[in-house]
Amino acid sequence: MNKRWKPSVTVAAIIAREGRYLLIEEHTPEGLRLNNPAGHLDPGESPEDGCAREAFEETTFTFKPTEMVGIYMSRLLRPAREGFAAEDVTYLRLAYCGDLGEQVAGAKLDKGIVRTLWMTPEEIRANAHRLRSPLVLRCMEDHLAGQRFPLGLIYTDPSVLSGTKG
């Protein structure tokens, strides 16, 4: 029987302000790691809405995607560990830049997120060994290089949002 391969779709917010990037520090099976505000795309949402949701959940700031930085793929091979099977996951990351809004008073960071921090490109490069994925650095470098695409690059049919066939 053939099993259909399905990459795990994630969305990431590439947020820059005054020469620094907003990252999160989070607990992972590999220990504390640095990442862009990012997470899995949920059923019934557009990639832009998913990115805004994940950015808020992981930073407590509102975020509105305005441009796409890029579409990326990476593979995680995680060995088995006590109580957990080995994992082989390919991620398809949709990365967006946009407008960072206000921090919402009283909002709590998502489970597993230790803190948010602003880092310079040099600090991020110097901490490459602490990045959750090589895509954190690649997205930053592409953003610094001015790589941008219109939001319309990915079209979300209304059937995705309504749950009906289109």
Q: What are phi and psi of 53, to 5 degrees?
A: -65, -50
> Is residue 132 a contact partner of residue 114, using CB atoms and an 8 Å limit?
no
* Residue 140 in domain: yes
In a domain, 67, yes or no: yes
Flag whether 161 is in a domain: no
pTM for this model (two decimals): 0.91
Q: Do 28 and 120 touch, CB atoms closer than 8 A?
A: no
The 10s digit of each residue's pLDDT in 52-93 is 999 999 999 999 999 999 999 999 888 888 888 888 889 999
* pLDDT for the residue numbered 117: 97
- Does residue 3 lie in a domain region? no
Average pLDDT over residues 15-34: 96
Inform me whether the pLDDT recorded for 5 exceeds 90.
Answer: no
Where in the sequence is the domain holding 59, given as residue range(s)?
8-78+88-152
In a domain, 166, yes or no: no
For residues 103-129, give the mean pLDDT.
97
Asked if pLDDT for residue 14 goes beyond 60, the answer is yes
DSSP assignment of 17-79, as one string?
Answer: ETTEEEEEEEEETTEEEEE-SEEEPPTT--HHHHHHHHHHHHHSEEEEEEEEEEEEEEEEEE-
For range 10-30, the mean pLDDT? 96
The enclosing domain of 129 has a CATH number of: 3.90.79.10
pLDDT attached to residue 166: 46
Residue 2 lies in a domain: no
| Domains in the chain, number | 1
Average pLDDT, the chain: 94
